[in-house]
A and B are shown apart, each in its own frame.
Chain A
Amino acid sequence: MSTGSLAAPDLTTRRAPGLGGFNLTVLRLEVRRLLRNRRTVLFTMVLPVVFFLAFGLNSAYANEADGHGNVSAFIMISLALYGAVLATTSGGAMVSIERSAGWSRQLRLTPLSPAAYIAIKMLTALVLGLSSMTAVYIVGGITGKPTMPVYLWIITALCVWIGSLIFAAYGLFMGYLLPTENVMQILSFTLVLFAFASGLFVPLSQFPKLFQQIAQYTPLYGLNQLVHAPFLGGGVHVAWVANAAIWLAIFAGGAAWRMHKDTARV
């Protein structure tokens, strides 16, 4: 191969990286970046804790039996889910800052595939979701109000954490779709709507019939039912799983599609 001119590059030794460029170095650096953003980390931990302290300890209903424990435990699961999805959405939406900095375009000049990047960003957002969920469960434990068997503390916590992945994808997709300046305002607002429509803040039975029917197709509905299922012990509906899986596919697919398209100069 060295018989060509001096400049003839030996292209045969060059190859593309495996897994579309996915690797642990990037994952570690992304988590480090995220944790440097203290304001977001604190906000997504404090907000659901404050909600829990405000609504989860009310002695008028908190100690009433519910599922395998009491109402306070049910509310703790709900607000841990709200905190976790708020956190993962924020984590995902940080991609809008990267877009405005031209970082997405820079990444298009590397072997990193959109799918690998989406996977890295979703896993990173999960770290933020973990901190938010953990904060609610620790405060819940300290107050001593929520009661349920130990294994349910663990199982529901895991369900909340892993389930919040759907909203990491949501944050990413919207981060690519919406303008940077107001992406979090828009997302916080939609999350409140999704939370109401999923019955997370107020039981759906208190809403009109039409609203209840539409609500079943909204993105947080399936997830909210699923994370409470172990606690309530009433089994799992295929519709909940389908709701969660379809929304995850829509958000993750949308994010990968937008990243692929995002080569605009800044």
Chain B
Amino acid sequence: MTNVNLGPGSRPGGAAQSLAIEIQGLHKSFGSVEAVKGINLNVAPGEVVAFLGPNGAGKTTTIDVILGLSQPTAGQVSVFGMQPRQAISRGLVSAVMQTGGLLKDLTVEETARYTASLFAHTRPVSEVLQRAGISDIADRRVGKCSGGEQQRLRFAMALLSDPELLILDEPTTGMDVEGRRSFWGAIRHDTAEGRTVLFATHYLEEADAYADRIILLRHGLIVADGTSSEVKAMAAGRTVRATLAGADEAMLRAIPGADGVEVRGETVLIHSNDSDAVARYLLMSTQARDLEIAPRGLEDAFIALTSDDTDGDMTSTGASR
């Protein structure tokens, strides 16, 4: 599976189809800092995948390796069965970056034409500007475009080579709600054609709304990988809050159904999918009082899965896919 021969005769009936992205044992260190600590990931053609995680989780580092912009410290990365650089030079992969990557002194149309001229195979510039919704500002200098317009230009540039894999690195950072919605509208419209998309974001609602599959990253590791509803199911539990003097954390962790335990002075917080059982136990077997049970949102799940103060227990739930 590591090397897929792309010769014309070697794909009988598409059976030996290569994965869009295949990552095995990826490690990436910057000096003594280990940004990615062993990621394995397969993305099949046509999937729309969200990389979700807080800053420093390793999202952008992983994307840079997939794009061939940096070399792995250890591990293998292939894109459609090729080295990232080979896939790029064939126009199979393109990316929309968060910032930069534009020349202020060119116009929108010139920037697109410049980019298009570098590829062997491209869509017509006018068509792509249309699809990105920037035909009407084609003659405007890039330096005079708003942040949202520049982001649409980056998107247009990424579409020019008609890539099989489109990578978006936090593409809507700094956009207002309306800009974000119309940007995603354009992407969604585009991916209806079966393009593989991988996007990094720290907006949960974006991952939820636009991805078939959500991969949660934390400290350079994948902590959850599933469909949006599977990730939501992980988040479906409730939080039981109680006042308990001299709480024994290890004892609380042993409560059947307790997924995560936090002790803050006399207050204990227990996350669980079976909050009734936890509440019953607390009331019957301990001195707990002032019980409160509250539902946990996706936001909380995200924080629980990616924050520092929960170790081990949440991870094991998350990585079970």
The answer for the CA separation of A17 and B121 in the assembled complex, in Å, is: 8
Q: A107 CB to closest chain B CB, in angstroms? A: 8
Q: Which residues of A contact B97 (CB under 8 A)?
A: 102, 105-106, 265
Q: A33 near B: Cβ within 8 Å?
A: yes
Partner of B120, one of A1, A109, A111: A111
In angstroms, how far is the closest chain A Cβ from the Cβ of B165? 9
CB of B175 closer than 8 Å to a CB of A:
no
Q: Is A206 an interface residue (CB 8 A)?
A: no
A263 touches B70 (CB 8 A): yes
Would you call A185 an interface residue if the criterion is a C-beta within 8 Å of the partner chain's C-beta atoms?
A: no
Complex: A124 Cα to B46 Cα, angstroms: 41
- CB pair A101–B102 under 8 Å, yes or no, is yes
Complex interface: stretch among B106-114, B244-252, B269-277: B106-114
A3 CB contacts on chain B under 8 angstroms: 13-14
- Residues 1-27 of chain A, each 1 if its beta carbon lies under 8 Å from chain B, else 0: 101111111011111111001010110
A196 interfacial by beta-carbon distance below 8 Å? no
- The residues of A that contact B46 with a CB separation of less than 8 Å are 5-7
Mark out the residues of chain A between 83 and 131 whose CB falls within 8 Å of any chain B CB in the assembled complex: 98, 101-103, 105-112
Q: Are A6 and B194 in contact (CB under 8 A)?
A: yes
Residues of A within 8 A of B101 (CB): 101-103, 105-106
Tell whether A36 is near chain B: CB-to-CB under 8 Å.
Answer: yes
With both chains docked as a complex, state the minimum distance between the C-beta of B22 and any C-beta of chain A, in angstroms.
14
- Report whether A25 and B117 are in contact in the complex, using a CB–CB cutoff of 8 Å: yes
Tell me what chain A mostly uses at the interface: helix, strand, loop, or mixed. Answer: loop
B89 within 8 A of A: yes
Residues of B within 8 A of A101 (CB): 100-104
Residues in A230-260 with C-beta less than 8 Å from chain B: none
- Cα distance A17–B89 when bound, in Å? 7
Q: Which residue of A lies closest to B46 (CB)?
A: A7
A33, B90: Cβ atoms under 8 Å? Answer: no
Answer whether residue A266 sits at the interface, using C-beta atoms and an 8 A cutoff.
yes
Establish whether residues A111 and B89, one from each chain, have CB atoms under 8 Å apart when the complex forms. yes
State the interface size on chain B (CB cutoff 8 A): 50
Q: Is the beta-carbon distance between A4 and B13 smaller than 8 angstroms?
A: yes
User: How many residues of chain A are within 8 Å of chain B by beta carbon?
Assistant: 40
Please, which residues of chain A bring their CB within 8 A of the CB of B93? 109
Q: Say yes or no for A37: interface residue by CB 8 A criterion.
A: yes
A17 touches B113 (CB 8 A): no
Q: Is B231 an interface residue (CB 8 A)?
A: no
**Is A42 close to B, CB under 8 A?**
no
Assess whether B14 is in contact with A29, with CB atoms less than 8 Å apart: no
A12 and B6 in contact, given A4-B17, A101-B101 (Cβ under 8 angstroms): yes
Q: Which residues of B contact A37 (CB under 8 A)?
A: 105
Residues of B within 8 A of A6 (CB): 46, 194
Q: Could you say which of A4, A8, A15, A112 contacts B118, with CB atoms under 8 Å apart?
A: A112
- A202-230 contacts to B, CB under 8 A, are none
Q: Does B196 contact A (CB under 8 A)?
A: yes
Contact across chains for A9 and B80 when beta carbons are under 8 A apart: yes
Whether A109 pairs with B94 at a CB distance below 8 angstroms is yes
| A104 nearest CB across to chain B (Å) | 9
Which residues of the partner chain B approach A5 to less than 8 Å between Cβ atoms?
Answer: 14, 17, 45-46
Q: Shortest distance in angstroms between A18's beta carbon and chain B's nearest beta carbon?
A: 8
B6 and A17 contact, CB distance less than 8 A: no
Q: Which residues of A contact B95 (CB under 8 A)?
A: 109
- B137 in the interface (beta carbon within 8 A): no
On whether A8 and B103 interact (CB within 8 A), knowing A109-B95, A111-B89, A263-B70, the answer reads: no
A16 → chain B closest CB, angstroms: 4
The chain A residue sitting closest to B96, CB to CB, is: A109
Contact A21-B118, Cβ < 8 Å, known A8-B14, A12-B6, A111-B89: yes
The A-contacting residues of B in range 42-81, CB under 8 angstroms, are 44-46, 60, 64, 67-70, 80
Chain A CB within 8 A of B115 CB: yes
The CA of A16 and the CA of B17, in the complex, are separated in Å by 21
Residues in chain A near residue B17, CB distance under 8 A: 4-5, 8
